[in-house]
């Protein structure tokens, strides 16, 4: 009875041990491969899994979350024979645990070396100016090439980024001088363009001013001609009125005409520059009489209007 009890106890312990060996718990973000007698048979996903104890065992424990690898710095010779130092990062994710475990040895090292090789290939076919200005294009070309090459390994390369492109110091100094010269050239071009535009605007302003001045003189001449024409018309009308009055025997009209000419002559004599003293051997009563004749004409004109 004691031997049977010992057997049962050993059997029970063995059964419990088999249960513990058959139950496998896989954490989130991980996948385990199962090998039976050294051959891959299945992949355990996150959660509680059951395997055959003794004959099955866990082969590889793989992280299926997106991972990042730092690409070491390396020197690259560009198409125009400029040597630059380049480094970067690569992001990848395991999509097929079995392929990642059994299709490639040292997966991380293989990815890094593949990226470094393609960096030299892609950047070596471009000029230095293209490297510095087309980083997005370089990243896209690297991603396409590396993702296609790593597809048989059961991984997906999601992103490749060039972190830094460092030309030699003497080349950087040369580029700085070139940039400075280019900016000075642009500044001189802009300054010359500004001066040219200013001269054009100044010439247009002078032209417009000359046009306006000519138009002003034309308008003034037209106004002067119009005024002289109206004055001539007034004088002609006045002469016609005086002539009619004379023809009718009106003595006051003759006095008006004589007084007008007499006063105009006195005005011209008085306004002469070389006239300091004027002798007038005339009778004042003659001038007063002429003025009286003008007054009489005015009265007659007003009486007629009334």
- Can you name the residues that pair with 57 across neighbouring β-strands? 35
Say if strands 47-50 and 39-44 run parallel, antiparallel, or are unpaired: unpaired
Q: Which pLDDT score is estimated for 108? A: 93
Q: 244-303, pLDDT tens digit by residue? A: 666 666 555 556 666 666 666 666 666 656 555 554 545 444 555 555 555 555 555 556
Half-sphere exposure of residue 70: CA atoms within 13 angstroms, side-chain side = 3
* Higher-confidence position of 296 and 63: 63
Task: Evaluate if residue 7 carries a pLDDT over 80.
Answer: no
pLDDT in tens, 9-48: 888 888 888 888 889 999 999 999 999 988 999 999 999 9
Whole-angstrom distance, CA of residue 137 vs CA of residue 227: 82
pLDDT tens digits for range 182-208: 888 888 888 888 888 888 888 888 888
Q: Which residues pair with 162 in a beta bridge?
A: 88
pLDDT at 182: 84
Do 153 and 113 touch, CB atoms closer than 8 A?
no
Measure the CA–CA gap between 265 and 179, rounded to whole angstroms: 86
Tracing tokens 């139950």 back to the chain, one arrives at: 23
Q: Report the sign of the C-alpha dihedral through residues 262, 263, 266, 267, in that order.
A: negative
pLDDT at residue 186, as a whole number: 86
Is the predicted pLDDT of residue 175 greater than 90, yes or no?
no
Q: CB of 180 within 8 A of CB of 187?
A: no
Distance CA 216, CA 219 (A): 5
Is the pLDDT score of 119 beyond 60?
A: yes
- In the predicted model, what is the mean pLDDT of the chain? 81
Q: Which DSSP helix (H) or strand (E) runs through 271? A: none
Q: Could you tell me the pLDDT band of residue 234, with boundaries at 50, 70 and 90? A: confident
> What is the per-residue pLDDT for 131?
84
Q: Span 167-173, mean pLDDT?
A: 73
Three-state DSSP state, 275: coil
* CA separation, residue 236 to residues 8, 110, 126 (Å): 158, 118, 97
Instruction: Give residue 264's pLDDT.
Output: 66
Given a cut of 90, whether residue 169 has pLDDT beyond it is no
Cα(136)–Cα(156) distance, integer angstroms: 19
CA distance 229 to 193: 53
Q: C-alpha angle 224/225/227, rounded to 5°?
A: 65
CA gyration radius for the chain? 58
Q: Which two tokens stand for residue 203?
A: 């010439």
């Amino acid at each position: 009875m004691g031997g049977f009890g010992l057997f049962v106890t050993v059997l029970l312990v063995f059964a419990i041990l088999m249960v513990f060996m058959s139950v496998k718990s896989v954490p989130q973000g991980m996948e385990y491969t199962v090998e039976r007698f050294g051959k891959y048979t299945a992949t355990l996903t996150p959660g509680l899994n059951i395997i055959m104890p003794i004959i099955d065992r866990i082969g590889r424990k793989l992280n299926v979350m997106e991972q990042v690898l730092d690409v070491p710095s390396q020197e690259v010779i560009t198409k125009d024979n400029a040597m630059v130092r380049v480094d970067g990062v690569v992001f990848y994710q395991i999509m097929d645990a079995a392929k990642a475990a059994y299709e490639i040895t040292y997966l991380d090292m293989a990815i890094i070396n593949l990226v470094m090789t393609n960096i030299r290939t892609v950047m070596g076919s471009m000029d230095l100016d293209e490297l510095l200005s087309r980083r997005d294009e370089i990243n896209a070309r690297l991603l396409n090439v590396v993702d296609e090459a790593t597809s048989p390994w059961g991984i997906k390369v999601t992103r490749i980024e060039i972190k830094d492109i460092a030309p030699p110091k003497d080349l950087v100094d040369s580029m700085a001088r070139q940039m400075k010269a280019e900016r000075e050239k642009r500044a001189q071009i802009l300054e010359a363009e500004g001066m040219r535009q200013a001269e054009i605007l100044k010439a247009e302003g002078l032209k417009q001013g000359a046009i306006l001045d000519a138009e002003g003189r034309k308008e003034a001449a037209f106004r002067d001609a119009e005024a002289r024409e109206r004055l001539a018309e007034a004088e002609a009308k006045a002469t016609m009125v005086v002539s009619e009055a004379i023809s009718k025997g009106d003595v006051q009209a003759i006095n008006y005409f004589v007084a007008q000419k007499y006063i105009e002559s006195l005005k011209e004599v008085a306004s002469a520059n070389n006239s300091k003293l004027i002798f007038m051997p005339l009778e004042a009563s003659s001038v007063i009489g002429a003025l009286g004749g003008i007054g009489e004409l005015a009265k007659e004109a007003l009486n007629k209007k009334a």
